[in-house]
Structure 1
Amino acid sequence: MLQKSYRKGLLFVAISAIAWSTAGLFIRVLPLDAWTILFWRSLFAAVFLAIYFVVDGPRHSLRPTGRGIIVAASLAMALLAFIPACQQTSIANVAALYGTTPVFTAILGWLWLGEKIRPATLLAIVTMAAGTSVLVWGTDLESDLIGNALAFVMTFMTSFVAVCMRRYREESLLASVCAANVFVSMVSLCFAAPLSPSLRHLVYLALFGLVQVGLAFAFYSAGARRVPASQASLIGALETPLAPFWVWLAFGETPPLSTLVGGGIITASTVGYLLAMAGLAARPQR
């Protein structure tokens, strides 16, 4: 039973990574300012998550708890930091810094939860760090310090939320994700032009909120409760190389060589790790 739950957790986290990686596609087809996109995306995400609560039944408690408020605040900080980071520095810098998420998650999981870092996990982290270094190659991380600092805040808060989901796996924290999106939507409204999207753009924004936030966090929340935080973060890092791949596939935008090489290293290490962990889970226990 535990092995089946573990394999299901790996699959859920992989699906969430694919969903998260679609952000570039939606941003590419939406000729709107960043805050308007953030407002509508978070609003639709909150609505879809609320509907999910109703459909899925009493497993999800809407009663606020101290831990839920902490998760909601941390996630809201990560979501709010993303758009300004992209405005203050290059997308390559943001992606490169976000690629270090598995390292922070593994360290936090070890310090807070006492989770052991397996040799295979350590090898995957080192390999992924090498891929991230290749992604950084050719970018100027020393310039635009504000943007890079915001990207670091987003990365660290994402790691913290991942560890929280593992720590409090006995309860669903999707209500906290919903609350975070409500807060982000309210803050973004101060800078957005909410009446500017056309009907077609609203459809894209609704899909953005459903796929890239709602479904992604629903699957990640379900998967993170079944596997160690460091492993969930490693699989979630598939988002980094997949994001430019979808944009290339849809719009023919060829990424630079450093992105291709670094993304290939990250993808290979993550897929190899995923297959190795699934194979270990499939072995009968003695």
Structure 2
Amino acid sequence: MTPHARGLLLTAIGGTALSFDIPMIKLGGGDPWSAMLLRSGSAFIAALVIWQIAQRLTGRTIILLPGRVGYAIAGIYGLTVVAFVIAVMNTDAANVAFIIAFTPAFTALMSWFFLKERPSLATVLTILAMMVAVGIIVADGLRAGNLLGDMFALAASLLISSVITISRASRADVGFAPMIGGIVPALIAAIVLGWQGAPVSADNAFWHVFNGVVLLPVAYWCLATGPKYISAPEVSMFYLLETVLAPVWVWLIFAEAPTPAVLLGGALLIGALGAHALWQLNGAGRRAQSSPTKAP
């Protein structure tokens, strides 16, 4: 498997795992701050446990956070979660989804400006197609919303773009950084609950913990490792899998049927991602065949 194919596979797995986040939150229930504390706190603890087990199994020292870049990525991931939750609490979900859909475009611009990695025409066309797809999905619910919530959604989008670009620039092993960054929203949630004098409340805490211990580590590790192998804009595109797959899982679990707009937009989004991946893989294969073979 070529490095590029490995990157596409990792980010596809990560995006798919992340798409279960919303169904897990709905299954767990409770107030948003309790969900954030249980979800992010569990992911932080899981990261420490997995780190120790990995070191014992491999017999080598694994750096949890590689220097300043690791701490920066962890912190930005943590702030992204906080910004996303505040956005959801203060504006329409459709607004949040629509604004987050600009992440690939922001990432492409950052990558082009800071890393001098000019996105290919295929990547640009795919990003545009995905933005149209998300627009179709959220068109029915898109409203003026609340300026504060919209601004935090924009901040979340920019933070995601920033962390992907930093990961791509460093090429460091930062797979644990997003989970370690979970300590930021967990602490903020604990402070808010303490200030409100409210207990941790959840209809079924198991699902929040399962999300943090199993699904989020897979999603974050894959998405954080992807930039080592593929461009930042390509990684950011797979974050949008949550937009189309989450309603499907909610449909299957809660019998909340998606609207025709969701189905149409989802088909377009998946088709754009699939076409882009096939084009990239075929291009890599052609380059490999045309490159001269070294003598043994």
Change beyond 3 A, Cα 1:196–1:131: closer
Q: Are residue 191 (structure 1) and residue 204 (structure 2) matched?
A: no
SS across alignment from 2:144: coil
1:261 match: 264
CA drift of 1:194 comes to 5.2
In 2, distance between residues paired with 1:98 and 1:150?
10
Residues 204-244 of structure 1 deviation map (CA, whole Å, 9 limit, x = unaligned): 12211134421111111222211111111123322211111
What does 1:1-286 correspond to in 2, within 5 Å?
4-57=2-55, 58=60, 60-62=62-64, 65-169=67-171, 171-192=172-193, 193=198, 195-197=200-202, 201-283=204-286, 284-286=289-291
In 2, distance between residues paired with 1:236 and 1:285?
33
CA drift of 1:141 comes to 4.1
In 1, distance between residues paired with 2:66 and 2:170?
14
Residues 25-51 of structure 1 deviation map (CA, whole Å, 9 limit, x = unaligned): 112212200110100111110111112
**C-alpha contact (below 8 Å) 1:86/1:147 kept by paired residues:** yes
**C-alpha contact (below 8 Å) 2:100/2:157 kept by paired residues:** yes
In 2, distance between residues paired with 1:179 and 1:46?
5
In 2, distance between residues paired with 1:238 and 1:276?
19
For normalisation by structure 1, the TM-score amounts to 0.91
In 1, distance between residues paired with 2:17 and 2:107?
20
- Structure 1, unaligned stretches of length 5 or more? none
In 2, distance between residues paired with 1:73 and 1:184?
10
In 2, distance between residues paired with 1:143 and 1:176?
33
**C-alpha contact (below 8 Å) 1:59/1:172 kept by paired residues:** no
For normalisation by structure 2, the TM-score amounts to 0.88
**C-alpha contact (below 8 Å) 1:68/1:173 kept by paired residues:** yes
CA drift of 1:103 comes to 0.8
In 1, distance between residues paired with 2:240 and 2:15?
7
**C-alpha contact (below 8 Å) 1:36/1:191 kept by paired residues:** no
In 2, distance between residues paired with 1:176 and 1:261?
35
**C-alpha contact (below 8 Å) 2:65/2:71 kept by paired residues:** no
Aligned pair count reads 281
CA drift of 1:19 comes to 0.7
Amino acid at match of 1:22: F
In 1, distance between residues paired with 2:117 and 2:131?
20
CA drift of 1:56 comes to 2.6
CA drift of 1:195 comes to 4.2
- The structure with the largest alpha-carbon Rg is 2
**C-alpha contact (below 8 Å) 1:10/1:278 kept by paired residues:** no
Provide the identity percentage: 26
Change beyond 3 A, Cα 1:63–1:82: closer
In 2, distance between residues paired with 1:219 and 1:278?
19
SS across alignment from 1:81: helix
Change beyond 3 A, Cα 1:60–1:130: same
CA drift of 1:253 comes to 0.8
Change beyond 3 A, Cα 1:279–1:64: closer
2:294 match: none
Amino acid at match of 2:245: L
